[in-house]
Amino acid sequence: MKNNLIFSGLGFQADEQCEEKIQNFVQIELGINYKISFGNVHCFGKKGKNGVRPIVSRFVYRREMEHVLRQTYILKGKPFGICEQFPPEIENRRKELYPIMKDARKSGKKVNLVRDKLYINGKLYLTTPTPPKQSGEYRDVLLAKLPTPSEQYPPVPPRPYKRPCSRLDSTDSDNSSTQLFNTKL
């Protein structure tokens, strides 16, 4: 998910190539006149309101991805969107911060959301951590009931006569190495 951007709102026919579609979009809509190197480009997810699926593109070079992101201000008021793809954990934290971000913007404060951190007027906004939801799935219930190693039956008795693991004495290892080198072939 590193160096991935999600392009939404682009019409797509079955006979089109995703990579060509993104190259044309970047050149026409964003005004970037050089060919961008993509690692992988494909559609994913469900169709949106306009019947179009989003396209995810992996950029080979981070500098090119950042250049595309800097040009997204041109798309304001248009039906297209570009956003960075994050792992699910970060995306969930961002979803928790969106309402706070909207309220702060309405009150006229300068708001910046960087990955999963919210800055309001240049200061980091700290949230209270929420406990994870209890899913109650069958697998989770079974895992919770598993005994710990100390509770296993039958108990494993200690081995009092077990030889402790230690390295060979230095004299033993010196003798064996000299014996290997003194042999005649």
pLDDT above 90 as % of the chain:
45
Q: Could you give the number of structural domains in the chain?
A: 2
Instruction: Return the closest-CA partner of residue 87 out of 159, 4, 26, 151.
Output: 4
Calculate mean pLDDT across residues 124-151: 68
Structural domain containing residue 126: 88-145
The predicted-structure confidence for 83-97, as pLDDT tens digits, reads as follows 999 998 999 999 999
Return the ∠ at Cα 129 (arms to 124 and 131), rounded to 5°: 165
Average pLDDT over residues 93-121: 92
Torsion angles phi and psi, residue 66, rounded to 5: -65, -35
Q: Are residues 92 and 81 in the same domain?
A: no
CA–CA distance, 144 with 130 (Å, rounded to integer): 21
pLDDT, position 127: 77
CATH classification of the domain holding 64: 3.30.70.1820
Q: Is the pTM of this model over 0.95?
A: no
